[in-house]
Amino acid sequence: MNEILLSKDPKQDIDKLPEKPGVFYFSNELQPLFVSLASNLKGRIAFYLDSMKEDDRFIALRDTATKLYWEEATNNLTALIWHKKLVKKLEPLLQPQVKPYEDYCYLAIDFEGDKKIQIKENTQGNLFYIGPFRDRFFVADLVETFKNLLQIKDDKQFSNNLLIETFLRSGNTFLAILEKRREDLFKEIKFQDSESMKAQIDVVAKFYQYMIFYYTARYINTTIDIDESKITIKNGFIEKIEGKGKIEEFRATDTSEYRENEFLALDKGDLDELWIVFFELVSSKKEIITSIYQENIRKVLTTLKYKPEEIDHEN
């Protein structure tokens, strides 16, 4: 692997890094410390080195790391496989301690109390959780967008069904309604309002794209063939790789620890692997994603006792 010495100013080395997928790990003179992967090696490594200067989440790396090793991969899935193999082989000393994902957040819906949409750091309460999301600003923008579109006020109660219709069902119908509103505003020569509505539609559409991931990622069980290897995926994770006469197995994932209200919530530390596996399946086995998505929507609607005839159309 390529080596960067951290004892000197590594800026020139970082500038030469490719903006491509790959793996990297920090080490001291005695042992590996922490392994990570990236869709953009240059950007991700620069993030870690900058964060190590002032972010307390990386204090252990800052105090002990003297070298950084990196290697380019052909794609994100290959980088993920290398990452899993390196973690298993090297047993990095600080792997459980370094948590760059701690700032991720969850979208939470209160179906039992005041029917509010909230942003939460974890899923320890009794709300219905979706996430995690890497970008807290996007979630905050989404919450404000929905409040505006649904005219949610602090002193007003909305039915569970309205929240389910807008957040948890397939968003095509809701987006069509919003698009019709936008077109009407444009026809009424309210161009500024129409443009504002378009920005809101873009936020909501992006959220519904994320929802396909949350509905399916943790429930994928299949096999795929990559580079003469057979990869077994269980609960969204790479569990086993068979190829060239070798079998390599990785940790099994226990899904029993999730509660009903965490059906669409993932562990923060699992997000990267689930995301990469999901997008590989979107391109190679889209029919599996579609089937899981539709099945799990039905499960959520049943759990939340959704009845279409009781939809609150007030807005």
For 93-106, the pLDDT digits (tens) are 999 999 999 999 99
Higher pLDDT, residue 308 or 88: 88
Using only C-alpha atoms, the chain has a radius of gyration, in whole angstroms, of: 22
Go through the domains of the chain in sequence order and give each one's CATH number: 2-90 (3.40.1440.10), 105-210 (no CATH), 217-303 (no CATH)
- Looking at residue 172, its pLDDT comes to 81
Rounded Cα distance, 276 and 74, in Å? 14
**Residue indicated by tokens 């396909």:** 212
Give 314 or 112, the one with higher predicted confidence: 112
Q: What pLDDT, on the 0 to 100 scale, is given for residue 37?
A: 96
Please state at what angle helix 286-303 crosses helix 271-284, rounded to 10 degrees: 120
d(CA 27, CA 93) in angstroms, rounded, equals 9
pLDDT in tens, 193-239: 888 888 889 999 999 999 999 999 999 999 999 888 899 999 999 99
In this predicted structure, the answer to whether residue 311 has a pLDDT above a threshold of 70 is no
pLDDT number for residue 312: 44
Cis, peptide link before residue 308, omega less than 30° from 0? no
Note whether 240 and 231 are within 8 A (CB). Answer: yes
pLDDT at 310: 46
Length of the chain: 315
Residue owning tokens 């909230």: 118
Task: Kindly report, residue by residue over 27-85, the tens digit of the pLDDT.
Answer: 999 999 999 999 999 999 999 988 888 888 888 898 899 999 999 999 999 999 999 99
Q: What pLDDT, on a 0 to 100 scale, did the predictor assign at position 131? A: 96
Q: What is the pLDDT of residue 315?
A: 39
Tell me: pLDDT of 186 over 80: yes
- Residue 155: the pLDDT is 54
Using the structure block, give the residue that is written with the tokens 């819906």.
109
**Contact by Cβ (8 Å): 50, 13:** no
